[in-house]
Structure 1
Amino acid sequence: MKLYAISDLHLDYKINYEALTTLPTFPEDWLILAGDICCRVEHLRFALANLTKRFAKLLWVPGNHELWNGVAGIIERGEEKYQQLVSVCREFGVYTPEDPYPLWQGEGGTHSLVPLFLLYDYSFRPPHVPLEDAVTWAKESGITCTDEYFLDPYPYTTTVNWCSARCEYSEQRLLEMPANIPKILINHYPLRKDLLY
């Protein structure tokens, strides 16, 4: 029994959408879907309908693209869209960051698999750039993340506030877990700046 992980399928592109149906079957293995599977809820449903037939168990965490709105007619936003995606996962028995964390007992021994949804807070920036200036600094450098246009944190006032709430929620859940079982943290967003270089 093996544990696989994949991200950034971007099923909104036809070639990726069609390629998913050609994936081989791994009936004893688990698969982590580590975000940016798609923008549209119906594409997530398509992915899960296909992948739950090919793997013994799936775990899902959202990326930024899952949370987008204002593209392709998507009107759901923020927490509402996230909860809609969680509901689709539950239709297929897929673990999400809102579910009890499963125990992995395959290769590598017993571990808790911990799907997380943490977002980002612009803390990965040069030390001389204050948090409140991070987006402006990036724009002045010629960089603007598409999330600035399509990721609506509603009902939170900012993505930073939503990130903070998600971190507090996740930290509390982690503190309640048994300390003697190793944990595998699963997140779309980088957890450590030093691993990015």
Structure 2
Amino acid sequence: MEAIEKHRGLVYPLNRANIDTDQIIPKQFLKRIERTGFGQFLFYHWRFDDDGNKRTDFSMNYPEYQNASILVAGDNFGCGSSREHAPWALLDYGFRVIIAPSFADIFYNNSLKNGIIPIQLDQEQVDQWMERAEKGTLTLDIDLKNQFIVDEADQKVHFDIPEYHKEKLINGWDDIALTLQHQDAISAYEGNLA
């Protein structure tokens, strides 16, 4: 997992609530066995028509949002099934941070385990940044270590994140990397079993 302590990025506003994992990555694209390559299918039915052409009426396809790496979305983001492919698709597309009033629990934890920072903020703050990003471009600076976000107006907003997950993200540790930190103890234990 790629370490992340600070991130500066362009915001893409997705002003919809209850976005479920099938909307994030439709089921027909879950046949891949690796974690990469899912970004091209992100929000597929919203981004593309039945012939695979980009829809001109979906804002994610607008030039001003290309290279966005921060997604600001509505309430209950990531609801639905527990598919881990949803954060894989978001990360593969280029999103490192998702800001919403609330997240589905499984999606929230899957995001943390895959290197995405899910930030829960109050509805008023989300609406403010959503509106600014819809009217023009908005860039945010995320400081994970100190747990705050600074916008272009120098407004500083604190956010909460469990210390355990914060440490893993800052160090780029997934669950396997954490286990391997105890390699000597594991080897000694296995040696005693022989």
Structure with the higher helix share, 1 or 2: 2
TM-score (norm 2): 0.34
Q: Tell me: higher relative CO, structure 1 or 2? Use CA pairs within 8 A at least 6 residues apart.
A: 2
TM-score (norm 1): 0.34
